[in-house]
Amino acid sequence: MTSKLCVGQFAGSHGVRGLVKLRSFTQDPADVAAYGPLVDDTGARLFKVTLQGKAKDLFLAKVDGVTTREQAQALAGVRLHVDRAALPETEDDDSFYHADLIGLRAERADGSLYGTVKAIYDFGGGDVLEIRVGSGALEMLPFSKACVPVVDVRGGRIIVDLPTVVEAREGDEDGSEGGDEAAEDGGGGLEP
């Protein structure tokens, strides 16, 4: 579980009045300034940011204390963080922040260690956990109730039920050779 989350990055200056360009990493980009003051990598500098507009895929923001182009330019590249505690609770029991899941121990049902959650991806086909297993290899596991029946964020672990993997190859014993126009009838669509 991570305590500081990187939510954005200053990307340069805009104009001569100290506006900065801000790149957002949040799910809804406009939320970058919604979690209160932002801090830099070290936590030493605190930025109060107000969004003013957009320039292509970046936001234009006013930062308290930054009034000149030079000051804004000097901030370029600074990454912005919020505290994990600043995020609101998730809306249901099956939603989890990526930051909470990353780093959890993945255990099998018998309690033996399977690996550690390294990342979560969503490529459009449901969320996927990337787990670094004991050998150092990375395994992908669908984030479903069947494969991850228990998520215990406070306990620092998830329980995984590893699915059986079967292969569907061209020309295997129960498959036909090559492409097929939707069905064995050779075209005209599938029979219902």
Partner 1 sequence: MARSVWKGPFVDGYLLKKADKSRASGRNEIIKIWSRRSTILPQFVGLTFGVYNGHKFLPVIITEHMIGHKFGEFAPTRTFYGHAADKKAKRK
Q: Which two tokens stand for residue 164?
A: 């059986």
Tell me the window of 5-13, 40-48, 64-72, 108-116 that interacts with partner 1 (CB under 8 A).
5-13
| Rg from Cα positions in the chain | 24
Is residue 18 within 8 A of residue 67, CB to CB? The reply is yes
CA distance 187 to 34: 54
Closest CA to 1 of 115, 84, 79: 84
Which one, 76 or 162, has the nearer CB to partner 1? Answer: 162
Three-class SS of residue 98? helix
Least gap, CB of 188 to partner 1 (angstroms)? 6
CB of 46 to partner 1, least distance (A): 18
* Contact flag: residue 75 with partner 1 (CB under 8 A): no
Of 46, 66, 122, 152, which one interacts with partner 1 (CB under 8 A)?
122
Q: State which of residues 113, 138, 155, 156 lies at the interface with partner 1 (CB under 8 A).
A: 138
Give the nearest distance from C-beta 9 to partner 1 in angstroms: 9
Nearer to partner 1, 106 or 151 (CB): 151
State how far the Cα of 19 lies from the Cα of 31, in Å rounded to an integer.
Answer: 18
Question: CA 93, CA 113: separation in Å to the nearest integer?
Answer: 24
H/E stretch holding 152 reads strand 150-152
Q: Which residues bind partner 1 (CB under 8 A)?
A: 2, 5-8, 25-27, 31, 35, 87, 90, 94-99, 101-102, 119-128, 138, 140-148, 151, 161, 163-172, 174-176, 178-184, 187-190
